[in-house]
Amino acid sequence: MRYLPHSAAERAEMLGVIGATDIDALFSAVPKSALRGFDLDLPAHSPEFLVERHMRALAAKNHAAGDGPFFVGAGAYRHHVPATVDHLIQRSEWLTAYTPYQPEISQGTLQMLFEFQTQVAKITGMDVANASLYDGSTATAEAVLMARRITKKNKVVLSGGLHPHYRDVVKAYLKDDPDLVCLSPSPEGQGDILSQVDNKTAAIVIQTPDFYGHLRDLKGAAEAAHAQGALLIVVITEVISLGLLEAPGALGADIVVAEGQSIGNALNFGGPYLGLMATRKEFIRQMPGRLCGETVDAEGNRGFVLTLSTREQHIRREKATSNICTNSGLCALAFSIHMALLGEAGFVRLARLNHAGAIKLADALTAVAGVEVLNDTFFNELTIRVSEPAAPLVERLARRGILAGVPASRLLPGDPGVENLLILAATELTTDLDIEALTTALAEELA
């Protein structure tokens, strides 16, 4: 929308209506000491076309994900989003729709959310899913609070393979509760999380594939947790992995949370993203957020309703399961459209393409002197140890037009054990030429 300033006459007319002598009179209640006593150091005004040219010049300095070889992951992944997705979500009936405060007149939105819930429940192998949360990290924190309500216990153990940002969000939600046990980073394997489970444990939180790309043993973790009356919370940052890996629900997970960005949603400079949550039927009344259900109207026609919205905006605060105010509706719609376009066979094929690309990447990296691949198992992401600190190496590769991944030290600052670790992801968009460019440049830089 273009900026259309009011004329002096229009401003004078508005001031006259409200009885103010000038603009300054509108701020008479502000103490003089709080007012700025100097001019802002801003350039003089310019014509609109010159401002646009200036902004385009600034944007041209960026190196976008599609401008060259791209191996960045660590919780946000570059995948192909069909043009159909963006076309449909920008239709006015979707783009202008908001949270269904009057469900009876929001049948289209409710049906979409119902289908979305069905898709999420199916790929996670769980009984029920909600209508989405903000993102994967807040969904993880909500799952921890949910587990505490269900078990009436407080101790929660976070795996050393949990994404550091997710760990920090859980710590913020729990306000550094002493009953929260955060295990040290475990870049080379499962870690000792099962030894931390006792009869005071409410839940253990395991990410798979984990922050370093390893696939974790969910079945053994579920058995150990359940033996002590605890729940298993499974976290997934790369939801496309569910097209190839066995569903967490089939392996004993009690709550599954995920970041849904990989389906239908671009990187978007870090957001908005999409939190997924699914659980077992017996825990449905402790699940935060919204749940859409199917019913029939008075004439027997199929319809949809908003049900079990146990958030504090709907019920008494002390009875609420969460203060989540809304769901990521437009991102959930994009997810649902993309998933419907893929279908079950397409989703599996997409996952296989990702895994095949990662195998090629791992094989090529193994042949580079000064590089050690740490993963025995992975989906589309893996960690390597290089012969020098990874962060400056990544900067040098970026200057060569290659975005070579995420140094673990960037997300775990101050941890000397991860200084030489580099996390790389390969998706269906990663080509053989991309891998060749990376390994050639990497070999030259390490030499």
Q: Given the DSSP bridges, would you call strands 371-373 and 381-386 parallel, antiparallel or unpaired?
A: antiparallel
* pLDDT > 60? residue 1: no
Confidence of residue 316 (pLDDT cuts 50, 70, 90): low
Q: Taking a C-beta distance cutoff of 8 angstroms, is the pair 213, 382 a contact?
A: yes
Confidence of residue 101 (pLDDT cuts 50, 70, 90): low
Confidence of residue 7 (pLDDT cuts 50, 70, 90): confident
pLDDT of residue 18: 93
b/e map 96-119, b = 16+ CB within 10 Å: ebeebeebeebeebbebbbbbbbb
| Residue ranges matching CATH 3.40.640.10 in the chain | 83-339
pLDDT of residue 329: 87
For residue 207, give the nearest of 292, 265, 139, 154 by alpha carbon: 139
Topology of the domain covering 66-81+344-446: Aspartate Aminotransferase, domain 1 (3.90.1150)
Q: Which two tokens stand for residue 52?
A: 């646009």
Q: Does domain 83-339 have CATH number 3.40.50.300?
A: no
Task: Give per-residue pLDDT as tens, 370-389.
Answer: 999 999 999 999 999 999 99
* 424 Cβ contact partners less than 8 Å away, ≥ 6 residues apart: 71, 73, 361, 365, 381, 382, 383, 384, 404, 405
Confidence of residue 150 (pLDDT cuts 50, 70, 90): very high
pLDDT of residue 117: 97
pLDDT of residue 388: 97
* pLDDT > 70? residue 97: no
Question: Rounded CA gap, 378 and 333, in Å?
Answer: 29
**CA distances (Å), 145 to each of 17, 133, 255, 271, 396, in order?**
52, 14, 11, 24, 43
Q: How many CA atoms lie within 13 A of 342 on its CB side?
A: 24
Chain-centre distance for alpha carbon 410? 18
- Mean per-residue pLDDT for 26-38? 83
Place of tokens 């997934």: 236
Q: Which two tokens stand for residue 75?
A: 């919780």
Q: Taking a C-beta distance cutoff of 8 angstroms, is the pair 412, 185 a contact?
A: yes
Q: Which two tokens stand for residue 94?
A: 């979707």
Task: Give per-residue pLDDT as tens, 317-332.
Answer: 667 777 676 668 899 9
